[in-house]
Chain A
Amino acid sequence: MKKEDQQSALKETVITIRGLHKSFGGLPVLQGIDLDLFKGENFVVLGRSGSGKSVLIKIIAGLLKPDAGTVNVLGQHVDLLNDKELQSLRLRLGFIFQSSALYDSMTIRENLEFSMVRNFKTLSAKEVDHAVYEVLDAVGLKDKINAMPADLSGGQVKRIGIARTLILHPEIMLYDEPTAGLDPITCTEIIELINEVKTRFNTSSIIITHDLTCAKETGDRIAMLQDGHFTRLGNFGEVFDTDDIRIKRFFDYNFIK
Chain B
Amino acid sequence: MNIKRTYIRIIDSFYWLIRKHRSDDGIFTHKLDRFFLETYDIHKFISRFFRELFTKPFEFREFIRQSYEVGVRSIPLITLTGFVIGVVFTRQSRPPLVEFGAASWLPSLIGIAFVRALGPLVTALISSGKVGSHIGAELASMKVTEQIDAMDVSAVNPYKFLVVTRVAATTIMIPLLMLYCTFVGMLGSFMNVHQNELTSFVTFFESAFAQVSFLDVSAAVFKSILYGFTIGIVACYRGFNATNGTQGVGRAANRAVVFSMFLIFAEELLIVQITHWIAAF
Tell me the bound Cα distance from A101 to B141 in angstroms.
Answer: 11
Does B210 sit at the interface, judged by CB under 8 A?
Answer: no
Taking the closest CB of chain A, its distance from the CB of B30, in whole angstroms, is: 13
Do B149 and A91 have beta carbons less than 8 Å apart?
no
Does B32 sit at the interface, judged by CB under 8 A?
Answer: no
What residues on A are CB-neighbors of B146 within 8 Å?
97, 99, 101
Do B153 and A63 have beta carbons less than 8 Å apart?
yes
Interface centre among A90, A99, A101, A115 (most CB of B within 10 A): A101
Does B213 sit at the interface, judged by CB under 8 A?
Answer: no
Taking the closest CB of chain A, its distance from the CB of B47, in whole angstroms, is: 15
Does A164 sit at the interface, judged by CB under 8 A?
Answer: yes
Residue from the list B151, B153, B157 in contact with A61, Cβ < 8 A: B153
Tell me the bound Cα distance from A1 to B142 in angstroms.
Answer: 51
Do A91 and B155 have beta carbons less than 8 Å apart?
yes
Does A183 sit at the interface, judged by CB under 8 A?
Answer: no
Do B156 and A97 have beta carbons less than 8 Å apart?
no
Q: A101-B145, A101-B147 are in contact. Are A95 and B153 (CB under 8 A)?
A: yes
What residues on A are CB-neighbors of B156 within 8 Å?
114-115, 118-119
Do B149 and A168 have beta carbons less than 8 Å apart?
no
Count of chain A to chain B residue pairs whose CB atoms are closer than 8 Å in the complex: 52
Q: Which of B49-63 contact A (CB under 8 A)?
A: 57
Do B155 and A115 have beta carbons less than 8 Å apart?
yes
C-beta contact mask, A55-82 vs B, less than 8 Å → 1, else 0?
A: 0001001110000000000000000000
Closest to A58 in B: B149
Do A165 and B149 have beta carbons less than 8 Å apart?
no
What residues on A are CB-neighbors of B153 within 8 Å?
61-63, 90, 93, 95
Residue from the list A63, A102, A103, A104 in contact with B152, Cβ < 8 A: A63
Tell me the bound Cα distance from A57 to B150 in angstroms.
Answer: 13
Does B154 sit at the interface, judged by CB under 8 A?
Answer: yes
Q: Which residues of B contact A (CB under 8 A)?
A: 57, 138, 142, 145-147, 149-157
Q: Can you sample 17 A-B contacts with CB below 8 Å?
A: A90-B152, A91-B155, A95-B150, A95-B154, A97-B146, A97-B149, A99-B145, A101-B146, A101-B149, A101-B150, A102-B147, A103-B147, A103-B151, A114-B151, A114-B154, A115-B151, A164-B154
- Further 14 A-B residue pairs, CB within 8 A, beyond A101-B145, A118-B57, A164-B154: A63-B152, A87-B157, A90-B152, A90-B153, A95-B153, A97-B146, A99-B145, A99-B146, A101-B149, A103-B147, A104-B147, A105-B138, A115-B155, A119-B156
